[in-house]
Amino acid sequence: MIGGLFIYNHKGEVLISRVYRDDIGRNAVDAFRVNVIHARQQVRSPVTNIARTSFFHVKRSNIWLAAVTKQNVNAAMVFEFLYKMCDVMAAYFGKISEENIKSNFVLIYELLDEILDFGYPQNSETGALKTFITQQGIKSQHQTKEEQSQITSQVTGQIGWRREGIKYRRNELFLDVLESVNLLMSPQGQVLSAHVSGRVVMKSYLSGMPECKFGMNDKIVIEKQGKGTADETSKSGKQSIAIDDCTFHQCVRLSKFDSERSISFIPPDGEFELMRYRTTKDIILPFRVIPLVREVGRTKLEVKVVIKSNFKPSLLAQKIEVRIPTPLNTSGVQVICMKGKAKYKASENAIVWKIKRMAGMKESQISAEIELLPTNDKKKWARPPISMNFEVPFAPSGLKVRYLKVFEPKLNYSDHDVIKWVRYIGRSGIYETRC
């Protein structure tokens, strides 16, 4: 149960404050500002207890969202609620920024009114909420009969996440496989930990109540099918992937997944996250970073970093950025790189090397000479890891969408008429190589 919800900007000014329960007073708003936002030391925990009141906070860019309660609640649920709140707001007005919050101030109060009542979460699906929120506020009495009946059918309907009577002229769906690949590598090139956390996001513009079936190259499914045709196993055996764990949107019938491992569902209208998964085995690491740091005397460092792209030569990686940390007492840096642009950024204590595009199976190198100021500080430089950012047009986990079939028995369109788009994007999560 949530007693109140506050939104602050980075200075601690209150942008939104909504109190749901009597036990949360106005002073709670100030208590959080003073104790957390204005606190000198870094944030100790996302859950703070001030005067027997628990504050759960989440930060999005420089906006603080805080949920407040006096009860012994389950923390995971409160954070999930805050994330959901952010998602809903983002679905309405895009990025969560001070400006957006200020200009959508009425809308946010409307949302807060609908998704929480007396501190209890109510309906929070963006699609379903759309019926209640009068963003432009021109409805009211002019509301048509049809819309009214929609509310009634929606609120009594069995399926909370989709309203009935949706119609599109063009039935279209978009599937995005978004993965972030995380790596921690030792200087010797040994993988200390690597995992991919991925999401399958679906944007559906389908009429009626379509029944969808989604298939991917999950090892367990392929093996099951492979029993019948040995031929197929040999063909696809290599390409199947082992998923460590996965979770689905509420709309997926879990019982069917457990028994047949098939993913079938009636999708919500618009964008939603179909599944979330994690793999740790056989990850394709798109880049390999080979660092070489040599200390030449007390006032000079020589750094050489080689990056190798490790994927099909026909694919192009984009937005590549390598961040090579430099010691605090750096006085000057000379950089030579074969490709892209590199700059020493004194304010960030790092050499930032940017490459716009890079094809697979290529190699590039940067070397830098770092001049150091002599210090009497005996502190040894801690050598933070070299981190990397990039975007590649494939899924580092190896996941492939095999099919997505759509059935709508009541309306006259078939699977073939639906236009389907699939896209794979692999991004770097925390991709670090120690040096």
Partner 1 sequence: MPYLGSEDVVKEVKKALCNPHIQADRLRYRNVIQRVIRYMTQGLDVSGVFMEMVKASATVDIVQKKLVYLYMCTYAPLKPDLALLAINTLCKDCSDPNPMVRGLALRSMCSLRMPGVQEYIQQPILNGLRDKASYVRRVAVLGCAKMHNLHGDSEVDGALVNELYSLLRDQDPIVVVNCLRSLEEILKQEGGVVINKPIAHHLLNRMSKLDQWGQAEVLNFLLRYQPRSEEELFDILNLLDSFLKSSSPGVVMGATKLFLILAKKFPHVQTDVLVRVKGPLLAACSSESRELCFVALCHVRQILHSLPGHFSSHYKKFFCSYSEPHYIKLQKVEVLCELVNDENVQQVLEELRGYCTDVSADFAQAAIFAIGGIARTYTDQCVQILTELLGLRQEHITTVVVQTFRDLVWLCPQCTEAVCQALPGCEENIQDSEGKQALIWLLGVHGERIPNAPYVLEDFVENVKSETFPAVKMELLTALLRLFLSRPAECQDVLGRLLYYCIEEEKDMAVRDRGLFYYRLLLVGIDEVKRILCSPKSDPTLGLLEDPAERPVNCWASDFNTLVPVYGKAHWATISKCQGAERCGPELPKTSSFAASGPLIPEENKERVQELPDSGALTLVPNRQLTADYFEKTWLSLKVAHQQVLPWRGEFHPDTLQMALQVVNIQTIAMSRAGSQPWKAYLSAQDDTGCLFLTELLLEPENSEMQISVKQNEARTETLNSFISVLETVIGTIEEIKS
201 near partner 1, rule: CB under 8 A: no
Kindly tell me which residue out of 132, 174, 205, 413 binds partner 1, with binding defined by CB under 8 A.
132
Could you tell me the sign of the dihedral formed by the alpha carbons of 159, 165, 166, 167, in that order? positive
Single-letter residue type at 239: Q
| Residue found under tokens 């699609």 | 127
CB of 429 to partner 1, least distance (A): 7
Q: Is 341 annotated as a binding residue?
A: yes
| Residue found under tokens 């925990």 | 45
Separation between Cα atoms, residue 35 and residue 31, nearest integer Å: 6
In the region spanning residues 268 to 307, those forming contacts with partner 1, defined by CB under 8 A, are 275-276, 278
Kindly tell me which residue out of 148, 239, 375, 414 binds partner 1, with binding defined by CB under 8 A.
148
**178: nearest Cα among 321, 387, 391:** 391
Q: Toward partner 1, which CB reaches closer, 193 or 234?
A: 193
Binding piece for partner 1, criterion CB under 8 A, among 133-141, 216-224, 310-318, 368-376? 133-141
Q: Is 354 annotated as a binding residue?
A: yes
Taking residue 332's Cβ as centre, other Cβ atoms within 10 Å add up to: 11
375 near partner 1, rule: CB under 8 A: no
Asked if 305 and 386 count as a contact pair (C-beta separation under 8 A), the reply is yes
Question: How many binding residues for partner 1 (CB under 8 A)?
Answer: 91
Separation between Cα atoms, residue 289 and residue 190, nearest integer Å: 11
Asked if 287 and 309 count as a contact pair (C-beta separation under 8 A), the reply is yes
Q: Is 400 annotated as a binding residue?
A: no
151 near partner 1, rule: CB under 8 A: yes
Please give the structure tokens belonging to residue 264.
């079938």
387 near partner 1, rule: CB under 8 A: yes
250 near partner 1, rule: CB under 8 A: yes
Separation between Cα atoms, residue 325 and residue 385, nearest integer Å: 7
CB of 50 to partner 1, least distance (A): 10
Q: Toward partner 1, which CB reaches closer, 2 or 418?
A: 2
CB of 164 to partner 1, least distance (A): 15
Taking residue 44's Cβ as centre, other Cβ atoms within 10 Å add up to: 9
218 near partner 1, rule: CB under 8 A: no
Binding piece for partner 1, criterion CB under 8 A, among 141-149, 205-213, 331-339, 355-363? 141-149
242 near partner 1, rule: CB under 8 A: no
Single-letter residue type at 119: G
Q: Toward partner 1, which CB reaches closer, 346 or 419?
A: 346
Axis crossing angle, helix 75-93 with helix 105-115, rounded to the nearest 10: 140
Binding piece for partner 1, criterion CB under 8 A, among 153-161, 200-208, 360-368, 409-417? 153-161
For residues 117-139, b (16+ Cβ closer than 10 Å) or e, as one string?
Answer: eebebebbbbbbbbbbbeeeeee
92 near partner 1, rule: CB under 8 A: no
The helix (H) or strand (E) run that includes residue 14 is strand 14-19
Kindly tell me which residue out of 117, 260, 348, 371 binds partner 1, with binding defined by CB under 8 A.
117
258 near partner 1, rule: CB under 8 A: yes
Annotated binding residues: 341, 343, 345, 354, 356
